[in-house]
Structure 1
Amino acid sequence: MTTIPATSETFPGFDGAPLALHRLGEGRPVVLLHGLFSSATVNWIKYGTAAQLAEAGFACLMPDLRAHGGSAAPHDAEAYPSDVLARDAEALVAHLGLSDFDLVGFSLGARTSARSVIRGMAPRRLVLAGMGLEGLAGWAKRQDFFRDVIDRFGTIRPGDPSYMAQQFLKSTGVDRVAARLLLGTMEDTPPEALKAITMPTLVLCGADDNDNGSADRLAEALPNAERVTIPGTHMSSVTMPELGRELVAFLDRD
C-alpha cells in the first residue's frame, strides 16, 4: 500500500469554533467521524484505514469532533447545544461545499452520522460502525456510564467495567470538562426515527463488540441496511485491516 501523507487544517464549527480537519487521498469524498475520547488520527489514520480508502480512490475528510483531538474544547455550556456534533458535521459539509459524498461513523461518530441524516443530511452511502440499536435508542444509559468514567477518572482500578474506558481516555488526553459537557448534548433516537435513513447503509461491527447493543437489531430497524461482521472488540476492531477492506467494498459500489 502506498504511503500517502495526511494534511491538516481547521474549519469553523456551527458556532465558529475552530475544529481540526485531516485530509488523505484524492477522489470521491468520504467524511469519517471518529468515536468518543478518540480522534481522526487514532480512529482512521494510525491503523491504516484511511490509507486503504485513499488507495482505492477516495478523498478522506476526517474531522476531530468538538472537544477531541486538535479541535476546540470550550468549557462554556453554550458551546454544547443539543445535537452539537451533528450541527458541526453540517457545518463541515457546508464549508466544503459537498453535495455528493459518503458518510462513515464509528461509535460516537456513527451516532453523529445517524443524527445528521435524521436532521436532513443526504450522503450517497452511509456506514454505521461499532453501533447497535441500543446505542442510539438507549443513549442515556451509555451517557451515565461515560460520565461516571470522567467523574472517577484516575481512581478506577483493574477489574472495574469502566477501567478500559478510563485508560483509553488517559491515552488520548481528551479534555474531561469539555467531554462531560459534550455528553449532555445527545438525546435518545427512537427506532421509528431511523425510518428517515433511506440510503444504502452498512452496519459494521466487531464480532465481540456489544458495547452499543445489538448491531443486528440496528440493521433490522433501518429501511435499506446490510450487516457485516469483522474481527475484534469495540476497542480492537478499529485496528483491523478488515475494517478498511469492508469500507472500500461497500463504498466502491455504484
Structure 2
Amino acid sequence: MNEVRSEFLEGWGGTRLAVHRLGEGRPVLLLHGLFSSAEVNWIKFGHARRLAEAGFEAIMPDLRAHGQSDAPHEPDAYPEDVLVRDAAALVEAIGLSDFDLAGFSLGARTAVRAVLAGLAPRRLILAGMGLEGLAGWARRSAFFVDAIDRFDEIKRGDPAYFAQAFMKTQKVDRVAARLLLQSVDDTASEALARITMPTLVVCGADDQDNGSAPALAEALPDGRYVEVPGTHMSSVTQRELGEAMVAFLTT
C-alpha cells in the first residue's frame, strides 16, 4: 500500500500509457492536467496517499503525450476526444466496473466528456474547472498552441511565460502536445444535465482560469462546490484539495 506501483497499458490505437497505482481498495481513476503528470498532480503533494489512507486505490495514468506515456508525432494518433478514448480503454483494460472518477483541469474536461460518452462512475470530481472552461476550449487551446509556436521567443512578462516555464520543467514534447490540444472538444452547457451522479466541483479561491466553478456546480443536477486555497497552478499543491476529495468520496 505504501509504494506506488507502475505499469504500461494500452490506450486507444495501441498507444502505451503509463499507469501508476497507490493503495488498496475502492478504485478512483485520477486524470491529471495539461502539461502535467500523475506525479505532479496526484503523487508529489500527497493527494494519492490521502486517498490510499482512506481506503481507496488511486489509479493514475499519465495522459497520452505526458509523463512516461507515449507521445506519438503522427496526426492520426490524435483523433477527436482521444483522451476520452484512452480513458475508456484503461477502464476496460483494468476491469473497472464500480469506481470513482476525478480530473484536474484538462483531466476534469476529459472526465466530463468521458461520462457523456458512457463511462458511469459512482461519483465524479471536477477540480480546477469552471462552467465557461468546458464550452470555451477553443480560446484556451489557442493560448497554449501559441505558447508552443512561440516557445523560443517568449520572455518574462509575456502572458505565455508561465506556460513556457511549466513546459520546460515538465520536459513537454511540444510536437505531441500541439497535436493533442487540437483533439479536445467543447462541451455545451446543456449537456451537463446528463451528468447525474453526485459531483464535486473543487477549485482554488483565486483560480479563474476556466471560468466559474460555483456556476459549474450549480449547472450540474447533483453538483456541490468546495473552495480550496490557491490559484490554478498552486491549488494542486495544497493539502486541502486531497482532503476535499477524500471527504466527498467517503460521505
TM-score, normalization by structure 1: 0.97
> For each residue in 1:207-228, what CA deviation from the matched residue of structure 2 results, as whole angstroms up to 9, or x when unmatched?
0000111111111211110000
Question: Matched residue pairs, number?
Answer: 251
Unaligned runs of 5+ in 1: none
Partner residue in 2 for 1:129:
127
Partner residue in 2 for 1:80:
78
> For each residue in 1:68-127, what CA deviation from the matched residue of structure 2 results, as whole angstroms up to 9, or x when unmatched?
000010000110000000000000000011110000000000000000001010000000
Partner residue in 2 for 1:114:
112
The within-5 A match list for 1:1-254 is 4-253=2-251
Q: Distance in 2 between matches of 1:155 and 1:52?
A: 41
CA RMSD of aligned residues (A): 0.9
Name the SS for the 1:115 alignment partner: helix
Name the SS for the 1:15 alignment partner: helix
Task: Spell out structure 1 runs of 4+ moving beyond 2 A.
Answer: none
Q: Distance in 2 between matches of 1:205 and 1:154?
A: 32
Q: Distance in 2 between matches of 1:250 and 1:159?
A: 39
Q: Distance in 1 between matches of 2:153 and 2:168?
A: 12
Deviation at 1:21, TM superposition (A): 0.1
> For each residue in 1:194-214, what CA deviation from the matched residue of structure 2 results, as whole angstroms up to 9, or x when unmatched?
111100000000000001111
Name the SS for the 1:226 alignment partner: strand
The residue type equivalent to 2:113 in the other structure is R
Deviation at 1:161, TM superposition (A): 1.6
Name the SS for the 2:126 alignment partner: strand
The residue type equivalent to 1:178 in the other structure is A
The residue type equivalent to 2:16 in the other structure is P
The residue type equivalent to 1:48 in the other structure is G
Q: Distance in 1 between matches of 2:158 and 2:212?
A: 23
**Bigger mean CA deviation after superposition, 214-223 or 140-149:** 214-223
Q: Distance in 1 between matches of 2:237 and 2:127?
A: 13
Deviation at 1:14, TM superposition (A): 1.3
Q: Distance in 1 between matches of 2:126 and 2:43?
A: 18
Q: Distance in 2 between matches of 1:238 and 1:4?
A: 21
Q: Distance in 2 between matches of 1:120 and 1:195?
A: 14
